[in-house]
């Protein structure tokens, strides 16, 4: 009920409080906060989302939960997320495509797809031709999500 009430006013303070709930230990709270936070469009939340993505709060989440967070990031922050997430996807990866770098690339690709921004989608498409398998797979999965899957 409190989350619904905050969503009606939509001041920056409410958005900040709601974003914190995206990292709550209870999955039901995270899902409820996601529904409300996705109503916002605020490039000012870029740093908060980036810090959360890089921090330990998401480390224990299963891929569907991480994907939900990344989609929310892309939808809320929008075009402001494109350049930093392209940089994230472009990072150097291990030859065999394992490790935390691969997870970061996948997260970045999900954020890019969720922005719906043309530059982001063009980048994801162009990455399908790249040499690194993990990056290609992450971008292909993100493009599939952008076309129709709504996590």
Per-residue pLDDT in tens (0 to 9) along the chain, 151 residues: 444 545 455 557 778 888 999 998 898 999 999 988 888 888 888 999 999 998 888 888 888 999 999 999 999 999 999 999 999 999 988 766 666 778 899 999 999 999 999 999 999 999 999 888 889 999 999 999 887 644 4
Which residues, 6+ apart, have CB-to-CB distance to 17 below 8 Å? 6
- Residue 82 to residue 55: CA distance in whole angstroms: 20
Give pLDDT, residue 101: 77
Which residues, 6+ apart, have CB-to-CB distance to 43 below 8 Å? 77, 78, 79, 80
Would you call 150 exposed, middle or buried from its count of C-beta atoms within 10 A (0-12, 13-18, 19+)? exposed
- Residue 139 to residue 124: CA distance in whole angstroms: 5
């Amino acid at each position: 009920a409190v989350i619904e009430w905050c969503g009606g006013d939509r001041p920056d303070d409410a958005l900040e409080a709601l974003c914190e709930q995206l990292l709550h230990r209870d999955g039901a709270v995270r899902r409820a906060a996601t529904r409300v936070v996705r109503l916002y469009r605020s490039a000012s939340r870029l740093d908060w989302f980036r810090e959360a993505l890089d921090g330990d709060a998401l480390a224990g989440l299963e891929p569907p939960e991480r994907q939900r967070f990344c989609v929310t990031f892309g939808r809320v922050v929008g075009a402001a997320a494109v350049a930093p997430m392209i940089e994230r996807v472009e990072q150097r990866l291990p030859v065999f495509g394992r490790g935390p770098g691969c997870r970061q690339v996948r997260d970045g690709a999900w954020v890019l797809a969720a922005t719906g921004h043309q530059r982001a989608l063009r980048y994801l498409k162009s990455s399908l031709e790249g040499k690194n398998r993990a990056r290609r797979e992450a971008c292909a999965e993100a493009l599939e999500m952008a076309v129709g899957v709504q996590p």
